[in-house]
Chain A
């Protein structure tokens, strides 16, 4: 992958994994998650917006300790295709880990690290990001539904051949419905990176995803109600 290539961004199932609720009377709760994301990537390196889309698949696990600490790991991968002239389709793969501290039932403070690779037939580009953020969890009283709002800042973004971005953040909103130890959720997620101008114009990059996630929990209990 050359510097001039448009850089598509893959889905982060890790984000979905971090949305797992923390409540539980057991001391350790283990969850397994599978998800699929419809990802839309946009990048502008000064020659106009280049757009690519694709499905990304992910899986992971979450271990929650005493409803206060959650550790999640996950992998995701897929392909993004584009119709833009001169641009190539690419494969995306990533692995990440995230830790969440849940001081109160409706709030989780999170830290994450993720490594992602984009591959084309001729090149590969690595992204490494470290983020900190918070997640608000709104449990419905009348039905087993949870609403989630999340925002993260990415103080560390290391990309092959690119300077650090001026703006790097992620945000998400979604709903999750659970029945017993099984949960299904729908989430809207955003990643935004604004790289500085290094003489060839500013590089702006953004990923939006619609993710459906399916979770199976073992140990502890389902969230309310």
Chain B
């Protein structure tokens, strides 16, 4: 086990990408330490190295945004407002969610940052967070942002359908949380599948538009549903018309039962014990024979069987009622459906 851990450590340590990001992270930490100690002149070159094209190590988007932000903040302290705003804009363009904490930065820095936001237009949506949403009591929340005052439309649509849900369409400035009740425009619960969340904004300060899309999946968590009863098969329905042939068949059935009773009392009995209740068997056999003959006589003329028609109707009604009851119970269960939301691959403008 120890060898395995050591091996994994070596593999990770040996990964060029991870090592490069560590180099960048170390450089950023060093620059931030200098910034915090107000050694701005020493911090700026380190930050510029990170954002320079000649920087030999991998830089993540977050690291680049961080570098631009600290560059802007540093240059603001040095009185280089235009340069500071330019770096702030670079940070904002890459991540419109970037902001300066007013508790950590000076009012002048914050003012410059806000100026940069006014000069830059971008919209963004945070990757959808995984979660469970009970549509009856909860809402899914998506976070969007515009860098400044803009007309913003947030739409959600199934990836393979055209129907879109407009979650927000109004003027927006900055962060906004948009809620979704899990329903489609026609009131249906959003079916399982892949969804696209798109934001489109048009600046009210600049003649610019921007958009962004992220994707997520929706799954249903529903209690098990009951199956409805199948259609009544011919074997489950009574004959609705009496046929002459049916009487003959019933006679045969009656005779079979009669013969069976007599056979049991003669073949299956132990002859050493005498009669074997032959009289009892004859009683049953006679009953069966009479039933068969009665059936034959009863079916001499073809005719409808109103009682059977009524009984079939009753069975159909009973089945329909049972299915309606099942459907009602299933509907109640479906109403308890919980949406399972997970982020999905894919992002676009």
Stretch at the interface among B49-57, B86-94, B116-124, B267-275: B267-275
Stretch at the interface among A79-87, A89-97, A110-118, A187-195: A187-195
**In the bound complex, what is the Cα–Cα distance between A140 and B249 (angstroms)?**
8
Closest to B323 in A: A25
Q: Is the CB of A25 within 8 A of B283?
A: no
Q: Contacting A221 at CB < 8 Å: which of B281, B287, B299, B315?
A: B315
Contact with A along B122-135 (1 / 0, CB 8 A): 00000000000000
Given A40-B280, A209-B277, A209-B280, CB of A147 within 8 Å of CB of B253: yes
Interface assignment of B347: CB less than 8 Å from any CB of chain A: no
Closest to B259 in A: A173
> Interface size class for chain A?
35 or more
Given A140-B291, A175-B288, CB of A188 within 8 Å of CB of B236: no
Q: Is the CB of B260 within 8 A of A149?
A: yes
Main secondary structure of the interface of B (DSSP, over half): helix
Given A40-B277, A173-B288, CB of A192 within 8 Å of CB of B268: yes
Q: Is the CB of B254 within 8 A of A147?
A: yes
Q: Is the CB of A140 within 8 A of B281?
A: no
Q: Is the CB of B257 within 8 A of A171?
A: no
- Neighbouring B residues of A148 by C-beta, 8 Å: 257
- Neighbouring B residues of A23 by C-beta, 8 Å: 236
- Neighbouring A residues of B315 by C-beta, 8 Å: 25, 221
**In the bound complex, what is the Cα–Cα distance between A30 and B280 (angstroms)?**
30
**In the bound complex, what is the Cα–Cα distance between A173 and B281 (angstroms)?**
8
Interface assignment of A69: CB less than 8 Å from any CB of chain B: no
Contacting B at CB under 8 A, from A174-223, are 174-175, 177, 186-188, 190, 192, 194, 204-206, 208-210, 221-222
**In the bound complex, what is the Cα–Cα distance between A221 and B257 (angstroms)?**
24
Contact with B along A69-108 (1 / 0, CB 8 A): 0000000000000000000000000000000000001000
Contacting B at CB under 8 A, from A37-57, are 38, 40, 42-44, 49
Distance in Å: Cβ of A211 to nearest Cβ of chain B: 9
Q: Contacting B319 at CB < 8 Å: which of A25, A194, A222?
A: A25
- Neighbouring B residues of A224 by C-beta, 8 Å: 237-239
**Total interface residues in chain B, CB < 8 Å:** 49
Q: Is the CB of A141 within 8 A of B284?
A: no
Q: Is the CB of A143 within 8 A of B294?
A: yes
Given A143-B294, A173-B288, A208-B265, CB of A194 within 8 Å of CB of B276: no
Closest to B245 in A: A141
28 sample A-B contacts, Cβ–Cβ < 8 Å, listed by A number: A25-B236, A25-B318, A26-B318, A43-B273, A138-B253, A140-B253, A141-B249, A141-B250, A142-B246, A142-B250, A142-B295, A143-B250, A143-B294, A145-B250, A145-B295, A147-B291, A169-B268, A186-B283, A190-B265, A190-B277, A192-B270, A204-B270, A206-B276, A208-B277, A208-B281, A210-B277, A224-B237, A224-B239
Chain A interface (Cβ < 8 Å from any Cβ of B): 23, 25-27, 38, 40, 42-44, 49, 105, 138, 140-143, 145, 147-149, 151, 167, 169, 171-175, 177, 186-188, 190, 192, 194, 204-206, 208-210, 221-222, 224-225
